[in-house]
Amino acid sequence: MCHLTEVEFNGSKHLILKDDDIVGILESDDAKELKPLNDRVLFKIINIIVVDWCTTSVCTFKCGKHD
């Protein structure tokens, strides 16, 4: 989870981040130019497949199928 702290300094709003939340440095508008920091990695998600594995008589995930 990202931890942001909003502050106002000299009439401008700023965000303070924890160093663990910083993925890399981007000096342009092109994401391909991102320079990762340390062991950070970005993934591009192409497809997401949702598998229905709720087979219990009482669903703890509140999927609405067992009400």
What does each of the 67 residues of the chain score in pLDDT, given as a tens digit? Answer: 677 899 999 999 998 988 888 888 989 988 888 888 888 777 777 877 766 665 555 555 555 555 4
Helix (H), strand (E) at residue 4? strand 4-9
Q: Per the structure, how many domains does the chain have?
A: 1
Could you list the residue range(s) of the whole structural domain that residue 50 is in? Answer: 1-67
Q: Work out the end-to-end distance of the chain between its first and last CA atoms, rounded to an integer number of angstroms.
A: 32
DSSP per-residue string spanning 7-44: EEETTEEEEEE-GGG--EE--SS-GGG-EE-TT-----
pTM higher than 0.75: no
Q: Report the alpha-carbon distance of residue 2 to residue 62 in Å, rounded.
A: 26
